Chains A and B, each alone.
Chain A
């Protein structure tokens, strides 16, 4: 996939296994929208704000949804969320926090920073599949993004 193409779903996930499972789950439910995977927080910010490797991209075509893991190398998920939600240009992009952590402080912090959903990755594969595909269906196909 080219870095300048229009991306509907931005997946921020450091674990390649989890990323693969999530993509598989989405595809299995026929969510075929363009998806781009970044592996750490810094890259996610570069992608969103069109810097570094992504300086060719335009800010006018933001992704329709961001699936964000909290435990990320370099820049943590919460920091990425904070940056997205405090910038005028990216504030309206829905962010779904997808993480293994059930710890209360993370959930609270994520919502306080303006996360649109908080989903826990389940160990049980079927549940995980169900959950991921529902997220894809809802945020990409059902939800109406701001004009």
Chain B
């Protein structure tokens, strides 16, 4: 097989494709470009290509076929063996021929006719489109939710959409039936002219709010936009804002009502924060303005801060809440309020809680007051055994308390009670009088006040007292009479008793008066004697006063004396003592032993004298000092004093026994002086014993205590016992026991001043016992208390 054999079929089919392509291309050009002008060129190209194709066919196919059938034209054989190589070129030839014919035909067809047809077709199409558009606009116009109308220059309505019909009530025909349609909407000539002028005046349109009337004589508010076409036709579009206006006005009204409501009102959001409060709320909670509250949590306005959250929870569950609240003002004060809250939603769908409050603090207080008052009244009625009643003056039936019925002998409340029931209980003797008074009170509206006897259900006759008063008239009529009834039997009986006693008394008084007259005479005599006595007494008193003054001055003199003694008597002693000392110091070497001794004697004597003066002063002071009496623990005092006056060595030497001692009533400082002196004496006089024994005892005797201080010391001769307590009296010599002889005198004086006694027992060298008595502390204390 040679190259041709390979290439020929392929090349052929390529050529066929190319040809088809060119034809297609031409066909497309025919549609797009100026077909008529390029028609000859197209014709040449088509023919040229077809010729080329034919040549190529003959070259290629010819050689190809030659291999089988030589250079023979295409035969039946070929057709039978390879039909496509015969049919396809023929088909292509036919197409080419048809094309050429078509082009030529087109070339020769008259152009005018062709254009007319084309125009007609176009017109039809546009008319159709226009109709469609118009219909669309008409529909929009007709069914648009705004008012659209149009009037031509003659005032004829040419557009009147559904919304217009709906708003105004008229159909287009009804409007056009009128000569002047505009006057239908604006019957007021002034307004009519204004509208007419406004729509005529401005070619760019008029935007304004008008208030036309409707068929059923309503006035509506329409926001109109009107345009005037050059032809004179007016097109208007409007929006009915009547309801919106009304809603707005309503809203303003409502808002105003809410803001100025006497009830407090707030709105709280889901977080429990205020979003709105009205004026009453601000005032009730004691704030200045809403800005202080809005945005703050509601919890700060309640005594219980968790309260708002509780309510919100309840509101989510039930949608509303009614109850009471203890609210807290800005200044922290508390008040009671009724609260009514609802669950609502704002424009964003969020939960909000509008809440209304009514302050009820005073109401609550008033309620409590009424309750208290009621209880008080009830109590008073019960205590006074009084029954209360209310009589209906129309039916003459009465409401009563149980106390009322008990008075009449009923154990429980009788089911019904009329005035006649009451009258039936009154004893026959009193009945007429009671009824007469009641009828009088009934017709004159005056108070009813009677005392009468009744027969109780058990038959007992009792006295009662009943009073009634008419209620204030309502609409000029007195409907009720209220009153109380009380059982006064006891009082009545007492009164009778008293009356009887009174009568008796009067007789007695007369008898006594006579007696009294005699006595009076006697008394007058006595009185005269008494006056004389009084005068005597007065004189005596004056004398006493003089004596008292004298005593006072004596006392003062005594005081001055003791002051002088203490001051002046001591000065020379000090000088004696001092100068003897100087003599001893400065001239001691010039003195012999006797001289030295004399110096010492002078010095000692001076010191003794000093002590004597001190003791004397103390003795005098005891007599003058005022007593500060109190209960004294004698045992403790004795112990302390003993410890004070004894040196440790002496305490070693002395066997001190202290029994429990009862308390005594006396002056602390003076008591101390007694113990100091008696224990001091005991220590002093037992100082020469090897083993000294001092014991203190006490013995209770009726209202006094005997205290005893015993020592085993020098003792004394009993025959001189009476001298023990004298001033400057001593039973021992100074060289034996030192002392001034004033100590026991002071002790006796102190004890005497306390109302006690002192005495002593003793024998020479066998010790001494000093006894003294004191009033018992406990006894006197309890007496003082009682």
Contacts and interface: CB of A to CB of B under 8 A. Distances in A.
B574 A17 contact: yes
A100 B607 contact: no
Interface in A72-112: 99-103
Contacts of A123: 570, 573-574, 577, 606-607, 609-610
A27 to B, nearest CB: 12
A100 B567 contact: yes
A50 interface: no
B586 to A, nearest CB: 10
Interface string A116-140: 0000011111101100000000000
Interface of B: 562-563, 566-568, 570-575, 577-582, 603, 606-607, 609-610, 614, 617
A24 interface: yes
A71 to B, nearest CB: 5
A18 B578 CA distance: 9
A15 B567 contact: no
Given A99-B567, A101-B567, A17 B575 contact: yes
Interface residues of A, number: 19
A18 B579 CA distance: 10
A21 interface: yes
Interface in A4-32: 15, 17-18, 21, 24
A100 B571 contact: yes
Given A24-B582, A102-B617, A121 B570 contact: yes
Given A101-B566, A102-B566, A125-B580, 5 more contacts: A15-B575, A100-B567, A101-B563, A122-B574, A126-B581
Contacts of B606: 123
A128 B578 contact: yes
A102 B617 CA distance: 10
A124 B610 contact: yes
A126 B570 CA distance: 15
A121 B610 CA distance: 11
Contacts of B603: 125
Interface of A: 15, 17-18, 21, 24, 71, 99-103, 121-126, 128-129
Among A100, A101, A121, A126, find the residue whose CB has the most chain B CB atoms closer than 10 A.
A100
A100 B617 CA distance: 13
Nearest to B573: A123
A15 B571 CA distance: 8
24 contacts: A15-B571, A17-B572, A17-B575, A17-B579, A18-B574, A18-B575, A21-B579, A21-B582, A71-B567, A99-B567, A100-B568, A100-B574, A102-B566, A103-B563, A103-B566, A103-B567, A121-B574, A123-B573, A123-B606, A125-B577, A125-B603, A126-B581, A128-B574, A128-B578
Contact of B578 (A17, A71, A101, A103): A17
A121 B617 CA distance: 16
A100 to B, nearest CB: 4
Nearest to A24: B582
Nearest to B614: A102
A17 B574 CA distance: 9
Given A18-B574, A21-B575, A100-B574, A124 B567 contact: no
A102 B566 CA distance: 7
A15 B572 CA distance: 9
Contacts of B579: 17, 21
B569 to A, nearest CB: 9
A100 B573 CA distance: 11
B566 A21 contact: no
Contacts of A101: 563, 566-567
B157 to A, nearest CB: 122
B362 to A, nearest CB: 66
Nearest to B608: A123
Nearest to B610: A123
A128 B582 CA distance: 13
Among A18, A102, A123, A126, find the residue whose CB has the most chain B CB atoms closer than 10 A.
A123
Contacts of A124: 577, 607, 610
Contacts of B566: 100-103
Nearest to B617: A102
A128 B581 CA distance: 11
Nearest to A16: B575
B444 to A, nearest CB: 88
A147 B610 CA distance: 42
Contacts of B580: 125
A48 B579 CA distance: 31
A24 B603 CA distance: 18
